[in-house]
Amino acid sequence: MTTPSSAPPRRPAWLRKKIEFASCEATRRILEAHRLNTVCREARCPNIAECFAQRHATFLILGRYCTRHCRFCHVAKTHKPEAPDPGEPDRVARATADLGLAHVVITSVTRDDLPDAGAAHFAAVVRCLRTACPGTRVELLIPDGNGEEAPLRTICDAGPDILGHNLETVARLYALRPEADYERSVSVLRRCKKISPKIRTKSALMLGLGEKRDEVLRVFDDLREAGCDYLALGQYLQPSRAHAPVRAYITPEEFEAYRQEALGRGFFHVESGPYVRSSYRAHAYENPTPS
């Protein structure tokens, strides 16, 4: 593992993905027609062209502006986000049908300004999807709800197939998430299992922020203790000079070693690689038995 004191000057060969937008037009038109945001675009995901070409997209609900200030995230921040759009759940469902998605992922900006942190809006999206796309598997990637029980119960009661909440990094580096708390995030996954044991839970980590191997393995243990079923591991890529720097580029071999460590701890499915993101290849997690 490369561990310089500052970000390496050039990305290694395995991180030089060529992005081609020529095959993305159909997906882009559908998203624009339904006036929907995607985390693919707002977070500058390096897989956007690949996914859009396959008519895949991860919907970003509750607006484009986040109330938190994570130092690694490109999603726009503001203290005055717009009010939730009551028509958005139906538009998400109709866009899902138009895209022909067998597995849809919905995430949101964090809305600490809302009394329920946006939980009712998530639930409304699930209900609309169940009506418009009854055969589609529904995966939600949710914020922490400020650690409150009621928002999580609202979301779980809506009946998503998979509920994700990303830890993002190891406990020691949570200063990069100034409004978040490591133990609170772990508890979201633990409490979800208590509320709805049948829901599969999922989390993700970005590597290369300065974490140590033993810290990463400790996160694996904490997630399994919380009953987490699925795990995604990817390389952190600095979206701009204003964001936290890359501290290390993790090799593909190291990603595979982490995958084996995670599978050995009992995760049902693990995606691990430089370009893996929490919703990347989301359909691959559908097998409910250990790999």
CA 125 from centroid of its chain's CA atoms: 17
Among 158, 115, 262, 249, CA closest to 202? 262
Q: Is residue 10 in some structural domain?
A: no
CA distances from 281 to 87, 201, 233, 289 (A): 28, 16, 12, 17
Can you read off the two tokens belonging to residue 29? 């038109």
Report if residue 11 sits inside a domain.
no
CB atoms within 10 A of CB 149: 12
In a domain, 77, yes or no: yes
Domain membership of residue 99 (yes or no) is yes
Ordered per-residue pLDDT tens for the chain, 291 residues: 544 445 455 789 898 877 676 678 899 999 999 999 999 888 888 888 889 989 999 999 999 999 999 888 888 887 688 899 999 999 999 999 999 999 999 999 999 999 999 999 999 999 999 999 999 999 999 999 999 999 999 999 999 999 999 999 999 999 999 999 999 999 999 999 999 999 999 999 999 999 999 999 999 999 999 999 999 999 999 988 889 999 999 999 999 999 999 999 999 999 999 999 999 989 888 754 444
Instruction: Copy the structure tokens of residue 16.
Output: 């030089």
CATH number at residue 237: 3.20.20.70
SS3 38: strand
Residue 9 covered by a domain: no
Residue 12 lies in a domain: no
Conformational region of residue 227, where left means phi above 0, alpha means psi within -120 to 50, and beta covers everything else: left
pTM > 0.85: yes or no: yes
3-state secondary structure of 288: coil
Q: Which domain holds residue 160?
A: 17-286
Question: Are the C-beta atoms of residues 34 and 63 closer than 8 Å to each other?
Answer: no
Q: In angstroms, rounded to a whole number, what is the distance separating the alpha carbons of residues 236 and 113?
A: 28
Residue 248 Rama label (left phi>0; alpha psi -120 to 50; beta): beta
* Count of the separate structural domains present in the chain: 1
